[in-house]
Amino acid sequence: MLRDTYIEVDLDRLADNVEQIRKRIGPDVAIAAVVKADAYGHGSKTCAQTIMEHGGDYLAVATLTEALELRGTYPQYPILIMGYTSNENLRYVVENHITQCIFNEEQALRLNELGQELGMKPKVHIKYDTGFHRLGFPDCDESVETIKRIAKLPFLECEGIFSHFALANDEENHRQFYALQTAVKKLEEAGCHFRYRHICDSIAAIDYPEFRLDMIRPGAILYGMKSFRKNDLDIHQVIRFVTKVAYVQDIKKGDGVSYNYKYKAPRDMRLATIPVGYADGYPRNMYEVGEVTIHGQRAKVVGVLCMDQCMVDVTDIPDVREGDEVILYGDESENAVTFAEAALKCGTNKNELLCRFTRRTPKVYLKGGKPFKILNPLLPDGMEEKECGL
């Protein structure tokens, strides 16, 4: 490896998580696997294939560029853009056989026009706002009338209709679900049929089996992140974030550490410097709360985090040496800080921590417990693989 700091992505675990979800929901509900934000930091191009080979039916992203990235590698997989695409960019959506979320009539008319021009029938999923107030047709009869008109457009396929839970509370979840159901019922009575009606993200898909409809849109649970409250699912974190000790030094009581000497050694101490900083996605506000695992023991982050490095207290961990493995995020079984624990420590959520990884931090993909592919966007194509003998 050309860099000691990297993310390990276990593709067997990812596959297993998808299979667990499939087992739970049965064969009749489609899985639109949410791979936005580079598959929550796991690398969307590589993960998409694993997910689709193990039970995924559709790939869901937030933006046109995310969809184009996947389309470039996978001409065959259905891809849904769940977010907004400007009218001027809808041409790229159609040309690339991407399914678009729409929430006004103008978008529908533009897509219909493009469909006619290009001799195609672009697919859309209608977004219906049941309360989140992000995107969507407002929940009212006028919207239902507009959607009826859209459904009749000759060069457009209304493949889906969907909404999104705010997950405010149980009562509100039910209200949102029935708001969508009521609108869909009116549309169906008017002869509009949708192959995919959907409203469940990860949490709702597990906690509210009765809300799954034709499709679910799991993101977090694909990657082993559990946030549901009522039910459980046997899934596991896919990523480990690791590095190696760069330097070990002894300092005296009262010595300052890092910028501004903000940290002052309360006793004689042994420090290990690790080549991880906030530019690798390890949050700067891990200052005073961060812990890493070395030889199965916890070491506290001391001193202000730097962009590229930080120091940890290894005074009570015997025989720490340059080159020893350091786990920043990992499994409970190895006494490592999980994403859940890390999120609590620095006051954010698991998803945000996953999205923070940067280009500088390579990804090592594992299959059968062994490195199978290494992605280092900084290196010329193929260089990293050669170094590793892959």
Ligand X SMILES: *Cc1c(COP(=O)(O)O)cnc(C)c1O
What is the amino acid identity at position 268?
A: D
Residue nearest to ligand X (CB): 219
> Is-catalytic flag, 36?
yes
Q: Which is nearer to ligand X, 81 or 314 (CB)?
A: 81
Distance CA 23, CA 278 (A): 38
| 313 touching ligand X, by CB under 6 A | no
Restricting to residues 48-107, name those near ligand X by CB under 6 A: 82
| 18 touching ligand X, by CB under 6 A | no
Vertex 233, ends 128 and 357: CA angle to 5°?
Answer: 70
| 125 touching ligand X, by CB under 6 A | no
- Helical H segments across the chain, by residue range: 11-25, 36-40, 44-53, 64-73, 90-95, 105-118, 141-151, 170-189, 202-207, 339-346, 350-355, 383-388
Dihedral of CA atoms 272, 277, 283, 286 in degrees, nearest 10, equals 20
* Residues 255-292: b if buried by 16+ CB within 10 A, e if exposed: eebbeeeebebeeebbbbbbbbbbbbbbbeebbeebbb
| 38 touching ligand X, by CB under 6 A | no
Restricting to residues 184-213, name those near ligand X by CB under 6 A: 201-202
Interface pick for ligand X out of 56, 219, 290, 303 (rule CB under 6 A): 219
> Is-catalytic flag, 253?
no
Q: Which is nearer to ligand X, 51 or 114 (CB)?
A: 51
Q: Which is nearer to ligand X, 211 or 263 (CB)?
A: 211
Q: Which is nearer to ligand X, 84 or 155 (CB)?
A: 84
CA 89 to chain centre: 24
* Residues 209-231: b if buried by 16+ CB within 10 A, e if exposed: eebbbebbbbbbbbbbbbbbeee
Q: 3-state class of 215 per DSSP?
A: strand
Tell me, residue by residue from 148 to 187, as one string, x for binding to ligand X by CB under 6 A and - for no binding.
----------------x-----------------------
Q: Helix 64-73 to helix 44-53 angle, to the nearest 10 degrees?
A: 70
| 224 touching ligand X, by CB under 6 A | no
Q: Return the residue matching tokens 């006004």.
A: 104
Distance CA 149, CA 317 (A): 69
Q: CB of 165: closest distance to ligand X in angstroms?
A: 9
Interface pick for ligand X out of 55, 160, 218, 330 (rule CB under 6 A): 218
Q: CB of 40: closest distance to ligand X in angstroms?
A: 7
| 20 touching ligand X, by CB under 6 A | no
| 215 touching ligand X, by CB under 6 A | no
Q: Site size for ligand X, by CB under 6 A?
A: 10
Catalytic residue (one of 185, 247, 253, 259): 259
Q: DSSP assignment, residue 150? A: H
Q: Which is nearer to ligand X, 40 or 278 (CB)?
A: 40
Q: CB of 5: closest distance to ligand X in angstroms?
A: 26
| 21 touching ligand X, by CB under 6 A | no
Active-site residue set? 36, 259
Applying CB under 6 A, the residues found at the interface with ligand X are 34, 36, 82, 164, 201-202, 217-220
